[in-house]
């Protein structure tokens, strides 16, 4: 499922930036979440549009300012969302509680990214509260911005909130690094989109310990060869509107976004078969020619992987 996270062409500006020192400590901003709940609690869970605008949004971080600008988040829109889906904001509290651990783990994961991929760039990560969608956005001005209440709600991805936040944010941060993710093409193929998303999944696991879409492997277990044979037959189709990507939650038998899982397995096959792991990681992140990468990867339907 595409979580409406924009990998904007504006990130191209960041790709030209100088690489940071190896001992980078990426900025991870969480103060907006505290500010929101201070307003929310003072109003006993029913803040007005004026309170949210004045005491939360207008006092927000640069990342929240950018998030609000891009996705039309206002005090009025948040108040309407709270009134319509109050349970989402009540449940968001449990995810807010794990943010200190998330921040520590993300700092370690993104530092690891810089060690393994010296060309990495490091815009800030901002966690804030929005209007239940989107889960997040990204651009050169604000970095990666995540709506805590929205990502908290997507617990089908991984029931453990801490693991879910670390893996999904790491996944999106990898998109910042990928040249192929900077250009939104309507006709991108199933194979190319799967390698972009699956590559982000693999690198997220490598630096943070787990993939973002952890439910997919369990759903595909025992059917790897059959599903991947089907994937090969449909790899040249347009990704949007296919059975492989950006197609909703799906069912237990056929979950959405299985292309993420296949792309992950192709990336992993390439990495495991490579003698030079740093070069292999660079190949995965900087993939531009999907067919050439597939041919080089050594992957085939049903390939056993560690």
> Do 126 and 169 share a domain, yes or no?
yes
Note whether 66 and 201 are same-domain residues: no
- Burial class of residue 100 (count of CB atoms within 10 Å of its CB; 0-12, 13-18, 19+): exposed
Same domain, 206 and 149: no
* Domain assignment present for 145: yes
**pLDDT confidence of residue 186:** 74
226 and 138 fall within a common domain: no
* Structural domain contains residue 1: no
The conformational region for residue 44 under phi > 0 = left, psi -120 to 50 = alpha, else beta, is: left
| Contacts (Cβ under 8 Å, ≥6 apart) of 283 | 270, 274, 293, 296
pLDDT at 148: 98
Is the same domain home to 71 and 117?
A: yes
Using CB atoms within 10 A of its CB, is residue 233 exposed (0-12), middle (13-18) or buried (19+)? exposed
Inside any domain, residue 213: yes
Question: Are residue 135 and residue 163 in the same domain, yes or no?
Answer: yes
Mean pLDDT of the chain: 91
Q: Where among 152, 177, 202 does a domain terminate? A: 177
Measured in residues, the chain has a length of 306
Q: Residue 181 — pLDDT band, cuts 50, 70, 90?
A: confident
The domain of 239 spans 190-297
Element (H, E) at 145: strand 143-147
Q: Which residues pair with 144 in a beta bridge?
A: 125, 138
User: End of a domain among 177, 212, 233?
Assistant: 177
Predicted confidence (pLDDT) per residue in 11-47, tens digit = 333 333 444 444 567 899 999 999 999 999 999 999 9
User: Pick from 126, 152, 177: which residue ends a domain?
Assistant: 177
- Residue 185 inside a domain? The answer is no
Q: Give the chain's domain count.
A: 2
Look at residue 194 in the predicted model and tell me its pLDDT: 98
**pLDDT score, position 16:** 39
Domain-located, residue 303? no
Task: Look at residue 78 in the predicted model and tell me its pLDDT.
Answer: 98
160 with 203, same domain?
A: no
Both 76 and 165 in one domain: the answer is yes
Task: Report pLDDT for 14.
Answer: 39
Q: Note whether residue 6 is domain-resident.
A: no
User: Please, which pLDDT band fits residue 187 given cuts at 50, 70 and 90?
Assistant: confident
Q: Is 183 or 19 the better-scoring residue by pLDDT? A: 183
Tell me whether residue 134 is exposed, middle or buried, using C-beta atoms within 10 angstroms of its C-beta: 0 to 12, 13 to 18, 19 or more. buried
Q: How far apart are CA 166 and CA 208, in angstroms?
A: 7
Would 88 be classed as within a structural domain? yes
252, 262 contact by CB (below 8 A): no
Judge if 78 and 124 occupy the same domain: yes
172 and 195 both lie in a single domain: no
Does one domain contain both 19 and 143?
yes
The answer to the question of residue 304 being in a domain is: no
Give the per-residue pLDDT at 114. Answer: 95
| 163 touches 210 (CB < 8 A) | yes
Share of the chain above pLDDT 90, in %: 81
Same-domain status, 196 and 90:
no
The pTM (predicted TM-score) of the whole model is: 0.89
């Amino acid at each position: 499922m595409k979580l409406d996270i924009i990998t904007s062409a504006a990130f191209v500006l960041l790709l030209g930036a100088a690489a940071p020192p190896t001992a980078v400590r990426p900025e991870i901003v969480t103060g907006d979440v505290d500010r929101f709940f201070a307003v929310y609690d003072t109003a006993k869970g029913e803040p007005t549009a004026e309170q949210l605008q004045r005491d939360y949004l207008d006092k927000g971080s640069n990342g929240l300012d950018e998030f609000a600008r891009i996705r039309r988040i206002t005090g009025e829109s948040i108040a309407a969302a709270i009134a319509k889906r109050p349970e989402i904001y009540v449940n968001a509290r449990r995810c807010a509680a794990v943010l200190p651990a998330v921040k520590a783990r993300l700092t370690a994961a993104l530092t690891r990214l810089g060690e393994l991929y010296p060309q990495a760039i490091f815009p800030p990560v901002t966690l804030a509260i929005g209007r239940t969608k989107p889960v997040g956005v990204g651009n050169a001005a604000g970095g990666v911005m995540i709506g805590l209440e929205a990502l908290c709600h997507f617990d089908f991805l991984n029931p453990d909130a801490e693991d879910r936040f670390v893996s999904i944010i790491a996944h999106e941060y990898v998109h910042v690094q990928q040249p192929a993710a900077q250009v939104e093409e309507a006709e991108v193929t199933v194979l190319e989109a799967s390698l972009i998303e699956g590559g982000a999944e693999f690198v997220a696991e490598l630096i943070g310990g787990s993939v973002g879409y952890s439910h997919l492997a369990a759903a595909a277990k025992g059917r790897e060869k059959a599903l991947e044979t089907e994937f090969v037959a449909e790899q040249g189709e347009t990704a949007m509107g296919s059975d492989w990507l950006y197609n909703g939650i799906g069912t237990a038998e056929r979950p959405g976004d299985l292309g993420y899982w296949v792309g992950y397995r192709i990336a992993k096959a390439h990495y495991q078969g490579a003698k030079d792991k740093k070069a292999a990681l660079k190949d995965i992140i900087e993939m531009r020619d999907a067919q050439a990468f597939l041919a080089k990867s050594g992957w085939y339907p049903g390939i056993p992987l560690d």
